Structure 1
Amino acid sequence: MLLAFAAFIFNTTEFIPIALLSDIGTSFSIPVDKVGIMMTVYAWIVALASLPLMLATAKMERKRLLVGVFTLFVASHILSAVATSFGVLLIARTGVALAHAIFWSITASLVVRLAAKDKRTKALGLLATGSALATVLGLPIGRLVGQHLGWRASFALIGVLALICLVIFWKILPNLPSRNVGNIKSLPDILKNTPLLLVYLMIILIVTAHFTAYSYIEPFMLNVVNFSANFATWILLMFGLAGIMASILFGRYYERMERSFLWLAMMAIALGLSTLFLSSDMSALWVINAFLWGIGATTISLVLQIQVLRLAPKATDVAMSLFSGIFNIGIGGGALLGGIVIAQMSLIHIGHVGAAVALLAMLAAWAYTRRLA
């Protein structure tokens, strides 16, 4: 449960700039599009740092490592809250990204390790719930705090919550010696593991597909479909609630419908993207679309995490650090691709291009399932 709350905090801070871009830009007198570089910088630092940092900390006792990660996280949020320039804020966000890189490299394997053998799938589902709640509760709360107390207060609040986690981790977690982490010598084995490489290919393709559209979903709803700001907010909340539903369904049914989950998640994302351009007269259909898309997005992350852990049992942290890095390459790549589509074509086409990339992900999934057959 505590690791799920920690996941909530980490996912909230990764995406909180989305809700605070205008306020931060006004504070430092810079345009919103330049403030948005925080998202790209964050994602690419996580992508580049995940494996090197995991290898550098491979032999560290996990409890101490987790406490160290949260110490850096808290300190970076303090710096964010008192930043005197946008450059200082970027430095602070770099610290948060480095903490993020280590946290997501070790967390899934820690959850599996700490859970009872027959509860591991449900434990991962709970971790996903924490992640999903970041969009349902984290972003709206962060936005409300920012509106009433300023954007600095939002970062300060995240820092306080992380400090509470740090203290609890220190008091209740047992010592957790490094185990099944792997090292640089594990990389050749991973690179020879064709099914695992296909999983990584699926990750980068489906995450890129998702974020090609999701990064710009709010302006799409407001400017293309002409939804009101309030209705657009409800759609985003529905997307987050779908993530919670996905984690519940995953915990209950995944072990009985393993292969079906992969294909259903892929199809839900592809369908959500391909039907993005709908009339504003179809509000009910938009809600259904967002719900199914949200279920698919959360489910695919869980399914692929499980596959990575199963395919690399002797080097889980190396494999998961690569998962985290590749996932963030997908986030940054999707946002970049979506921006190119908007600049070269039109905002209308972000769903179409995202759906095309999702079809490539489905081809990779087909190759993966054939390989395992």
Structure 2
Amino acid sequence: MTSVEIPTPGSAAGQPSPLRGWLAVLAVTLGIFALMTSELLPVGLLTPIGSALQVSEGTAGLMVTVPGLVAAISAPLVTVATGRIDRRIVLAVLTGLVGAANLASAFASSFAIVLTARFLIGISVGGFWALAGGIAVRLVPERHIPRATAVIFGGVETASVLGVPAGTLIGDHSGWRTAFAAVGILGLLSLACMVCLMPKVPAERTIGLAGLPKVIRGNAGLRAGIAMTFLVITGHFLAYTFVRPILQEDGVDGSMIGTMLLAFGVAGLCGNFVAGALVAKRLRQTVAGISLVLASAMVLLLASGGSAFTAGAVLLLWGLGYGAVPVTFQTWILKAAPDATEAASSLYVSTFNLSIALGAFFGGLAVDGLTTTSVLWIGAALAALTLLVVSGTRDSVSLREREAHL
């Protein structure tokens, strides 16, 4: 049976030198930054892309739905299918694919071509993120694993902080095609770094595809983490995917939106650091805080009243809350399943990206069928529901024991 690698700390006998290991970590971080920027880039460019390719904003939201849905499926499948292949080769191929797909989008003459390219990006995002979740244990000494993992997943947050806002600014000033081309070039640069800086990372311990459900079966902590990820990410992207038309409908000048999304990203980076300092001892409280902040921000945006200052302040709050999401939920998943990091990460990535897809899809239906601002109410409700899951969990002895491993 085809199988996947489940790395464990200290398992790599031929571990690279600390310097080369950290260079490899940085290469992986650049790769995940490029991939996540690619996946989320359309968020800031829905209106101009829809106008240029003659589709509605709800239909344009499929550019977020398609890669999210494909990534949800590809995360476990790519991980399983490449189980015996050198991880450096797999990650390099996936990074090169996302670069080529973005360049194809830049020259697309129809929306169908763009969606085909977004399909390929979904394959890359799902497979790359799932493997990157456990790759740090193969690259750096055991004592550096938590820090290296945080650096790698900092690429996810940095995509929101720098990638999407920068892409939006490029799109506003030079056209959306230029923005896609820039991200495509970034993907090819990531490929070069992967090839030059990353050592061979051969497969070690493996598990069959049929074994993936066993990772979550009987693990209440992991199931809770997956459920909370689904609620928070679906709620966030149901609303955030359409933040540009929401702001424009509210009277905010379109030329200011790129800057406001940049402020959102900077706040997100702050949220990442705040959460990083809290999750070690206050993981459940941090998750509850994220839920409250996101729900509150979405409701407050409804009351911004067309003021760019007020809307910007609300986006800062929203960014602060969402910035805490990747490090918090990734920490929850790794703590819940420390002996199956890659398998658990693939399930987490699958859920994360499925939630992006569903959020964007149902948000599009709400925007086209109800009102643009309806997505804020729905997103806030889903985020608030996370509190019920958190309140239903308790720090069991087994979870505390698992936390000790990290």
TM class by shorter-chain length?
0.7 to 0.9
Q: Structure 1's 182 and 276: CA in aligned 2 closer, same or farther, altered over 3 A?
A: farther
Gaps of 5+ in 2: 1-25, 401-406
1:165-244 equivalence runs, <5 A = 165-179=190-204, 182-184=207-209, 185-224=211-250, 226-244=251-269
Take 1:353 and 1:43, find their aligned partners in 2: how far apart are those partners? 19
Take 1:336 and 1:182, find their aligned partners in 2: how far apart are those partners? 33
Q: Give the TM-score taking structure 2 as reference length.
A: 0.81
Give how far 1:105 is off: 0.7
Q: Aligned partner of 1:310: which letter?
A: K
Q: Aligned partner of 2:219: which letter?
A: N
Q: Aligned partner of 2:380: which letter?
A: A
Q: Structure 1's 156 and 228: CA in aligned 2 closer, same or farther, altered over 3 A?
A: closer
| Other-structure match for 1:104 | 129
Take 1:10 and 1:134, find their aligned partners in 2: how far apart are those partners? 8
Choose which of 323, 332, 340 in structure 2 pairs with 1:307. Answer: 332
1:88 aligns with 2:107: no
1:346 aligns with 2:346: no
Choose which of 108, 111, 136 in structure 1 pairs with 2:161. Answer: 136
Task: Check whether the contact 2:69–2:358 (CA below 8 A) recurs between aligned residues.
Answer: no
Take 2:117 and 2:159, find their aligned partners in 1: how far apart are those partners? 20
Computed over aligned residues only, the root mean square deviation of the Cα atoms, in angstroms, reads: 2.8
Q: Structure 1's 116 and 140: CA in aligned 2 closer, same or farther, altered over 3 A?
A: same
Alignment deviations for residues 132-177 of structure 1 (CA, whole Å, 9 cap, x no partner): 3323332343344445654443333222222222122112212212
| Other-structure match for 1:369 | 394
Take 2:357 and 2:347, find their aligned partners in 1: how far apart are those partners? 15
Give how far 1:256 is off: 4.0
Give how far 1:265 is off: 1.9
Residue aligned with 2:133, SS: helix
Q: Aligned partner of 2:220: which letter?
A: T
1:63-82 equivalence runs, <5 A = 63-82=88-107
Residue aligned with 1:313, SS: coil
Choose which of 254, 272, 293 in structure 2 pairs with 1:247. Answer: 272
Percentage of identical aligned residues = 28
| Other-structure match for 1:266 | 291
Q: Aligned partner of 1:227: which letter?
A: V
Take 1:19 and 1:284, find their aligned partners in 2: how far apart are those partners? 19
Residue aligned with 2:358, SS: helix
Gaps of 5+ in 1: none
Task: Check whether the contact 1:122–1:252 (CA below 8 A) recurs between aligned residues.
Answer: no
Moved over 6 A (4+): none
Take 1:286 and 1:28, find their aligned partners in 2: how far apart are those partners? 29
Q: Give the TM-score taking structure 1 as reference length.
A: 0.88
Take 2:273 and 2:141, find their aligned partners in 1: how far apart are those partners? 18
| Other-structure match for 2:350 | 325
Take 2:185 and 2:247, find their aligned partners in 1: how far apart are those partners? 34
